[in-house]
Amino acid sequence: YAAGSILEWKWNMFSIDWEDHFVDSMPIKKWSIRDAVTLKPTEDIFFKLSGSYGNTLLKDTLENDKFWEFRSNVQKMITDSGMLELDYTVKKNSGETEAILSKMFSAKFNWYYRIWILALSYQFSNIDDSMNKQNFNNNYFSFKIQRMMF
């Protein structure tokens, strides 16, 4: 079974979801709530803040995991043909099976010229698994030239 609802009003979006699966391999019960606020103070800048919280219950073992997430995003047209996007996300999963805190920052720049797109991006992520006493830092760089087809 699954149910959900979304309420959108002006600059805000709120959603709630519920799932109950009776599968032999892994029966679960899960619920989550999400809220997002989007602001566009000028024509060339765009802000978005969002958060979520939820719970997952593995019904065969009665293991209970909680999770939450916070995300902030800003996009700005810095020239007539160039857009900069910054994004920061923090996620936490905690319970009997895992305890993971993830942090991620990304920066993207897209430049448009006629049928061409130049995309540069950088992403840093830190994953801290306190249950297994492991910590990972990852850096990703990306460079892409794309031609639009008609």
pTM higher than 0.75: yes
Residue 35 reports pLDDT greater than 90 = yes
pLDDT, residue 23, reads 75
The neighbour count for residue 31, using CB atoms within 10 Å, is 16
pLDDT, residue 95, reads 87
pLDDT, residue 62, reads 84
Nearest to 77 by CA among 46, 116, 118: 46
Residue 37, Cβ density class (10 Å: 0-12 exposed, 13-18 middle, ≥19 buried): middle
Q: Annotate 107-137 with three-state secondary structure.
A: EEEEEEECCEEEEEEEEEEEEEECCCCEEEE
Distance CA 110, CA 117 (A): 7
pLDDT, residue 58, reads 86
pLDDT in tens, 109-140: 999 999 999 999 999 999 999 988 999 999 99
Over pLDDT 70: what percentage of the chain? 99
Average pLDDT on 47-59 reads: 94
Q: What is the mean pLDDT of the chain?
A: 93
